[in-house]
Chains A and B, each alone.
Chain A
Amino acid sequence: MRSLAETAHLHRLAEEWSADRVLVEHAQLEAFSQATGHLIGSVGEDAQEDYWAELLRPLKRLRWLVATVPLPVSHPAVGVAPIAHSVLPQLRRCGRIAPALAGTSDRVAELLEELTRCEDDPLGEAVRCLRPADPGLVRGAGPLEVWEMAAPPAEPAALLLRDGRFTDPVRAAFGRGWEVVTAAELVRGKPVGQVVAAGPVSWFPPAVLRAPRSSKFTFTYFGWLRDHDPELGMLTGTEAAERIALHPPPERAREGPVAGQGAQDDARAWIPRVEWKAITAAAGRTGGEAHGELVDALLFALASGDGVYLAAKDGAQAYTAELEGEVSVRQLSVSELGEGHFLVLRTTGEGDYIREIADRLLGDRAEQLRAIQRGWKLELGRLVDLRGPSGVAKDLKELGALIANDMNVRRWASPESLRTHSKEDFGAILRLIGDEEQFEVIWNAMGELQAAHMKAGNEVRKLLVAEIRQSDGAELLRNGWADYDVEEVEGEGTLRVARINGVSPDLQELPRGRLRRPCPVGAERWHG
C-alpha cells in the first residue's frame, strides 16, 4: 500500500512529466534493416509460404532484437550468429527459387554476414549517454580526512525494455545505477528519477505515459523508424485539454559518418505479431498423443513460449491469476479470456489437475464415484451421438428438465461437468437413460465429487496465491510467466502462470486429452 504522500507524488509526476525522443544512427544496421524491409516488401503475399516464412521470420526477429536490446550486435543474447547460420544458406538459395529477388537476398546475406562480426552497441551507447555521471567523492574541508559526496547521489534511472527476457544480460552489461525493467514492472514500481526506453514510444503500452513513474522520459530508437504518438486520453466526453508533454523527434542527421539515409519505416509494423500458422503447426508437432472424444478448441499463445488448447464451447472454464491490487486466482469462462490474462496451467501430466487432486482427496471413494460418473455420462453421450443435442434437449424437456438446450446438453454430457444445478434437470437425464430409480445414489455421488473438486480448487488457489505473493510476482511481471512449485501439488506437476499473448482466430477439432496441456511452440514463431 502506498502512503498518501507517495500517491500524491505519483499525481505530481502525472502533471509534470515530459518525454523526449533521441534518434540513434548506425549505417550498417540501417542498411540491414532497409534491405530486410525491401525483401519483405518484395515477397509480399508470398510471405506466408513455408520457404519465405522460415526465411523472413528470423530476419524480422533479428531486426527487432537489435532495435530493442541495448547490447552489442554480436552479443550472444541477441543471437545474430545462430540466426545467420540458419538463414544464410536459404538466402543463398533464393536465386533459384525467386530469381527476381536474388539481388535483394544476396544483399541481405552480405549485410547479415557483416553483422556477425559487428561489435558495435549503438543503442546501448545512446542509453548510457543519457545517464548523468555519478558525482564521485571529494576530500572534505575539515581537519580530518573525510571524503564527502561532491553532490547528492544521482537519482535512480530505469532502463525500460520491451521484452523482459533480456533483463539479466542487459543488467549485467549496464551495472550499478540502472534499474532494468519492463513496462509492467515500471508502472507497478516506485518512481525513478528518469526513464530511458530502448525503443520508440509506440512499442510500449500507453500506461507507461498514462501513469508515469518519472518526470523525465527519453525514448531512444533508430533514426530509420517512424514513431507515433500514443492515445493518452482514455475517456470519451472529457473536456480537459491534454498537456503536450511528448516532444516530437529531432530531424535526422543528413551529414557525417552515420548520416541517416532518409527513408523511415513505420515502427508499428515492426512489432511482432502472433503467427498462427506457424504456432498451430508447432503445437501439432509438440502436443504429443492424446485420446478422448473430439471437441472444439481454441489455441492460446502464451508468453512462456507455449501454446495451449482450451475447450471453446459449452461454458468451459479455466483458472486465471490476477495481479491487480491483491493477487487472486479465479475461474473465468474460456470465452472471456484474451490478451493480457494470466492463465494457470500444469506443466506435466493431464491438464485437469483439479480432478486429480480431488481424486486424491477422495481416496478409495474416488474410483467408485468416478465409475458412477462415467456410467451416466456414457449413456447420455451415446444418446447425444444418436439423436443430436437438440433431440436430447427436446426429450429432456418433455421429461421435466428446466434448462435443457443444445449447449447445456453438451455440457452435461462432457466429462468436465459433474451434475446439473437443479434436481429437475438431473432427474430428467436419469429418466431418459433409464436410471431413475438410482436418482438419490447418483445425485449424492456427484455431489460428493463436486465438493471434492471445490475443495481441491480452493486449496490450489490458496497455495498458488501464497506462492505468487511470496515471490512478489516480480518474475511474472518481468517475463510474463513463471513456474510455481506448490508443495501440496507436488507430484502433480509445477503450476505455470503465463500471460496470454494471443488467441487463435479459428477453432480446431481436437481429442479432449489435448486440452490444457501446454506445449512449446517457440518464441521466435510469433514474429509474423
Chain B
Amino acid sequence: MEGSAIQSVGDLRFEAEAITPATAGLTSESHEAIPYWGRFIAGASRRLARSESQTTTVGLTLPARGFAAVLGAGAFVTEQERLHPMSPGDAEEHVALLRSCPSGTPIKYHAGSKVWDGRFIGFTDHEGEEKLYIETRNMKRKLALSSALNIRLTGELVQSNALRSRKVALSPLLKSLLSPDAALTYVTTTRHDCIVVGTQSSLVGELTSQKFFASEGPNGSGGVLQDIVRAREAPGARRYFRTVLVPSTTGPSAEERTFAPRLVVFDGGRAYLRWRHIWRNAHQLVLIDRSSASAEDAAGELSMAFIERTGETSILDRLAVPGSLEAIAFERGL
C-alpha cells in the first residue's frame, strides 16, 4: 500500500521498560517488537477482517488480558479500512452513491491536507453541465463530477457541529499503516467497525498511555494505539471513530444495541457472559483472563458455543498458538 510502511498493528514496536522482579523500580526504556502473543492476536484479528464468513468466533484464554483487546481492535479496524475504504476509489460508483444520499448528508471536502466540513446538497445544472452541489463554511460550491472523489461521506446521519475547515495533523503511527489519503479519510469519517466490551478505564488507559512506534527509528514515528483504534470514548475520536467501547458492567445503551459492527471484542469473561447475546451477526474475539473470577464460567460458555458450532474455520490455520494462550475458533449460526 502506497505510503504505508508496515502491514499490521502487530508489526509495531513499543516503548518497553525492562521488568524483572529483582529490578522492580529500576527500569530502562527501549523500543521492542510487540511480543509474539500480541502479534498472534493482531494476526487473528486481521484474518477475521478478511474472512468471508460473518460470524466467526475466536476464543482465547490468557494469563492477563492487558492490551489484547486494543491490539485486536487496532489490527481489525485498519485491515477493515484497507479492504473497505471509506475513501472512494471509483469516481462513477461514488457519483452513483452520492445520488442516493439525501440533501444535507454530512460530508468532508478534501483539498490537499485541508479538510472542510460540509453538507451534500445534491446535483445541479450549471451552464448546461451537471455539477455536484455542496455547502461548506460560508460557501456553497458547485464542483465538477470529476471532483467527486474529493467528497467523502462522514458516516454521520446529521451534521452536528458548525461547519469549519481545518488542516488535519495525521499521526505518524497511522500513516505507517495507511496511505496519507486513506489516513486523512480515516480520521474524518465514522464507521462502527468494532465494539469492545470491557473495563472502559483500563481500555482507555491502554489506548492512550503506552507509546508505540512504526520503526526502531526516531521517536517521530511514534504515537498511541488510540491513533489507530479510534475509540469513541477515548480522547480525540469523539466525533469520528471506528471503535465503540462499551462498559461490561452496565452494558450497551439502547442506541449501541442497534449498531452493526463487524467485530465484537469481549475483553474479559464477564463481558462475554453478559453481553454475548447482542450483536449476534458480528465476528467475536473472546478474551478470557485466566486470573479472573469469571474465567471458569466464561470458558464453560465458550466451550459450549464451540460444541454447538455450525462449522469449522481455518482462521487460525498455520498460526502457531503462543505458549501462554489457549485458542479455539469456530463458526456460529446466525
- Give B294-309 as 1s and 0s: 1 = Cβ < 8 Å from A's Cβ atoms: 1110010011001100
In the bound complex, do residue B324 and residue A15 qualify as a contact, i.e. CB atoms below 8 Å apart? yes
Interface segment out of the listed A254-262, A272-280, A318-326, A519-527 = A318-326
In the bound complex, do residue A2 and residue B66 qualify as a contact, i.e. CB atoms below 8 Å apart? yes
In the bound complex, do residue B37 and residue A11 qualify as a contact, i.e. CB atoms below 8 Å apart? yes
Q: How far is the CA of A234 from the CA of B289 in the complex (A)?
A: 11
Q: Which residues of B contact A238 (CB under 8 A)?
A: 321, 326-328
In the bound complex, do residue B292 and residue A324 qualify as a contact, i.e. CB atoms below 8 Å apart? yes
| Given the contacts A11-B322, A235-B59, A328-B249, A207 and B295 also touching, CB distance less than 8 Å | yes
Q: Which residues of A contact B291 (CB under 8 A)?
A: 187-188, 207, 210-211
Q: Which residues of B contact A323 (CB under 8 A)?
A: 293
Q: Which residues of B contact A240 (CB under 8 A)?
A: 321, 323, 325-327
In the bound complex, do residue B270 and residue A322 qualify as a contact, i.e. CB atoms below 8 Å apart? yes
Interface segment out of the listed A150-158, A287-295, A300-308, A443-451 = A150-158
Interface segment out of the listed B86-94, B175-183, B185-193, B202-210 = B202-210
Interface of A is mostly: loop
Choose one: B19, B21, B37, B290; the contact of A210 (CB below 8 Å). Answer: B290
In the bound complex, do residue A11 and residue B303 qualify as a contact, i.e. CB atoms below 8 Å apart? no
Scan residues 258-291 of chain B and give those whose CB is less than 8 A from a CB of chain A: 268-270, 288-291
A368 interface contact, C-beta 8 A: no
A7 interface contact, C-beta 8 A: yes
Give the residue name and chain of the A residue nearest to B34 (CB): A4
Choose one: B35, B66, B327, B328; the contact of A236 (CB below 8 Å). Answer: B328
Choose one: B24, B67, B290; the contact of A234 (CB below 8 Å). Answer: B290
Q: How far is the CA of A190 from the CA of B38 in the complex (A)?
A: 20
In the bound complex, do residue B328 and residue A5 qualify as a contact, i.e. CB atoms below 8 Å apart? no
Interface size on A, residues (CB 8 A): 46
Task: Point out which of A4, A191, A212, A323 has the most chain B C-beta atoms below 10 A from its C-beta.
Answer: A4
| Given the contacts A14-B324, A210-B290, A235-B306, A1 and B205 also touching, CB distance less than 8 Å | yes
Give the residue name and chain of the B residue nearest to A8 (CB): B35
Q: How far is the CA of A192 from the CA of B21 in the complex (A)?
A: 6
In the bound complex, do residue A6 and residue B19 qualify as a contact, i.e. CB atoms below 8 Å apart? yes
- Give A182-201 as 1s and 0s: 1 = Cβ < 8 Å from B's Cβ atoms: 00000110111100000000
In the bound complex, do residue B66 and residue A325 qualify as a contact, i.e. CB atoms below 8 Å apart? no
A243 interface contact, C-beta 8 A: yes
Q: How far is the CA of A14 from the CA of B322 in the complex (A)?
A: 10
Q: How far is the CA of A192 from the CA of B24 in the complex (A)?
A: 10
Q: Which residues of A contact B16 (CB under 8 A)?
A: 4-5, 8
Q: How distant is B277 from chain A, measured CB to nearest CB, in Å? A: 15
Q: How distant is B46 from chain A, measured CB to nearest CB, in Å? A: 19
B22 interface contact, C-beta 8 A: yes
B17 interface contact, C-beta 8 A: yes
B158 interface contact, C-beta 8 A: no
| Given the contacts A236-B306, A236-B328, A11 and B299 also touching, CB distance less than 8 Å | no
Residues of B within 8 A of A (CB): 14, 16-22, 24, 32, 34-35, 37-38, 59, 61-64, 66-67, 198-202, 205-206, 209-210, 248-249, 268-270, 288-296, 299, 302-303, 306-307, 321-328, 330
| The 5 nearest A-B residue pairs measured at CB | A325-B199, A211-B291, A7-B66, A236-B303, A14-B324
**Pairs A–B under 8 Å by Cβ, sample size 11:** A5-B16, A13-B63, A14-B323, A15-B322, A15-B323, A15-B324, A210-B295, A211-B290, A234-B326, A240-B327, A325-B270
